[in-house]
Every structure is written in C-alpha cells, then in structure tokens.
Amino acid sequence: MTDRVYSTDAYAFEVDATVVDVDADESRVLLDRTVFYPGGGGQPPDRGILLVGGDAAAAEVAGDRLEVVGVGEDRRGVWHQVTGGLPPVGSRVHGRLDVDRRLALMRTHTAMHALCGVVWERYRSPVTGGNMEPGVGRLDFELPDWDPDDKATIETALQAELDAARPVEVAFLPRAEADADPSLIRTKVSLLPDDLAVVRVIDIVGLDRQADGGTHVRSTSEVGRVRVAKVESKGRGFRRIRLALDEPSG
C-alpha cells in the first residue's frame, strides 16, 4: 500500500518516493509514498509533477520531469497518470504538487464542511450530494422548509464560524467505533466502503465532525471570505447551495 502522506499532513507539498509498479497502457506509475490526493468526497485529484532521479534539483535542471495529469487509487495504492515516458520500477522520483491549486481546494473543502455544520445546526438536514473545484463548491440538501431569506442568514452564520478560527483536527477511528457514532455520516446515505477498517475523521472543533478522506486547512481562519453565490431548487424540498471563495488577502 502507498504511504498516503496527504492523509496525515495536508501541508506536505513535496515527497521523495520510489516507483513500485508501472502501467504502460494507462501511462501511470504506482508510488510507495505520495502527497497527491487521488480524489473522493467531491474533491478532485491533485495535479503537479514528478522529477525523475535521486537528485530532484538536477532533474529539474535537466528537464527530467513528468506532468501528473491524473491520480487514482485501487487496493494496491495510489497511481499517478503522467505525460511522457514512464520511469522503470525502482526509480527514485520527487513529487511536487501544484501548491496553489491544492491550497485552494483545502480552503474550499473546509468551507463546505463548515456549511454542513451551519445547515445541520439550523435544519438537521443531511447532505444529498456535492462537488468542488478550487475556490467554488456546491452542496445539496433536503430542505423542505427553506425560505429565500435564509440565503443571507446562512452566509452570515457561515462567515462567522470561519472567522472564529476554529481548529480543524484529523483523527482515525476503528471501523466499529465509527459505525457506533452515526453523527459521523453527514450524507443521507453512508458512502464508506464495506471493507474500510479505519475511518478518517475531520473535526472542525465545535461545529462539524464527520468521516472524510480529503485535505483541509488547519484553522477555519485560513478559508477567508466566502459567499453563498446561489441557491437553486433541485426538486420539491431539495436545495443546492453554491459557495464561492474570495482570493486570500496578502
């Protein structure tokens, strides 16, 4: 299995790794360690580069770099789809993320969890769907009692929670312990795979705690300004709330 560095340290943007397998048909490599998130929970996969060779600086000067254009996972670990020739098994590589994109996704994902907490506190409504790109995201909720005036109320409450600089903590629970706490699942239907033995939990302390595999900032204060850009009707009793993040100041 790949050592998934992103799972314990979302701020690790580079890593030295070894190629443990190659898939020529899909132009991808399997690494023993990675900082590249393979996607899931509405968060898209990371992008970046692999510098080939034991000396990353020399590889960069020589142009021995592969663009990481796709990331995915299976039971063996995390695969990195690259452009250009594939390095042989056993090659040393240095992975480097597109940092600006990753940070934007971390801010966006944390904002969406905060929105979950705000909506849950007001409506006790679970999420029925969601997706995000850097700086924008949407969550779908079952909200039969929604009033158009609630848009401004939700936006104000969300920004207040973010400005409160709530810590964002990561924990890992045995599956049996996680299954005994139904509050960890904020989606209407649990998306946890049956064979998942350890559940990763993201806790925006005092606001939202749920099972999640994605990357997040350390504090809600890092998210910055967020707008509820639009609220759409998705059928009787269902609403889609779209968020947009301002660029961080400074």
Q: What digits encode the pLDDT tens for the residues 178-193?
A: 888 877 877 655 667 7
Q: What is the pLDDT, as a whole number, of residue 4?
A: 97
Domain pair 3-97 / 102-245, same fold: no
Q: What is the pLDDT, as a whole number, of residue 91?
A: 96
For residue 12, name the pLDDT band (cuts at 50, 70, 90): very high
For residue 105, name the pLDDT band (cuts at 50, 70, 90): very high
For residue 154, name the pLDDT band (cuts at 50, 70, 90): very high
Domain ranges of the chain: 3-97, 102-245
Q: What is the pLDDT, as a whole number, of residue 191?
A: 63
For 142, phi and psi rounded to 5 degrees? Answer: -90, 105
Helix, coil or strand: residue 156? helix
Q: What is the pLDDT, as a whole number, of residue 7?
A: 96
Cα–Cα dist 193/191, whole Å: 6
Cα–Cα dist 127/13, whole Å: 30
CATH code, residues 102-245:
3.30.980.10
- Check if the beta carbon of residue 69 is closer than 8 Å to that of residue 82: yes
Cα–Cα dist 164/10, whole Å: 21
pLDDT tens per residue, range 229-242: 999 998 888 999 99
pLDDT, average across residues 153-176 = 96
The amino acid occupying position 100 is D
Tokens standing for residue 101:
């994109």
- Check if the beta carbon of residue 246 is closer than 8 Å to that of residue 225: yes
High-pLDDT (> 90) share of the chain, %: 77
- Neighbour count for residue 103 (Cβ, 10 Å): 19
Q: What is the pLDDT, as a whole number, of residue 189?
A: 55
- The H-assigned helical ranges of the chain are 5-8, 56-62, 99-123, 150-163, 175-179
Q: 3-state secondary structure string, 80-142?
A: EEECCCCCCCCCEEEEEECHHHHHHHHHHHHHHHHHHHHHHHHHCCCEEEEEEECCEEEEEEE
pLDDT tens per residue, range 52-79: 998 888 888 788 999 999 999 999 999 9
**Chosen CATH of 3-97 out of 3.20.20.10, 2.40.30.130, 2.10.210.10, 3.90.76.10:** 2.40.30.130
Helix, coil or strand: residue 153? helix
Q: How far is CA 225 from CA 4, 140, 220, in A?
A: 30, 21, 10
Cα–Cα dist 116/125, whole Å: 9
State the pTM of this model: 0.93
The amino acid occupying position 54 is G
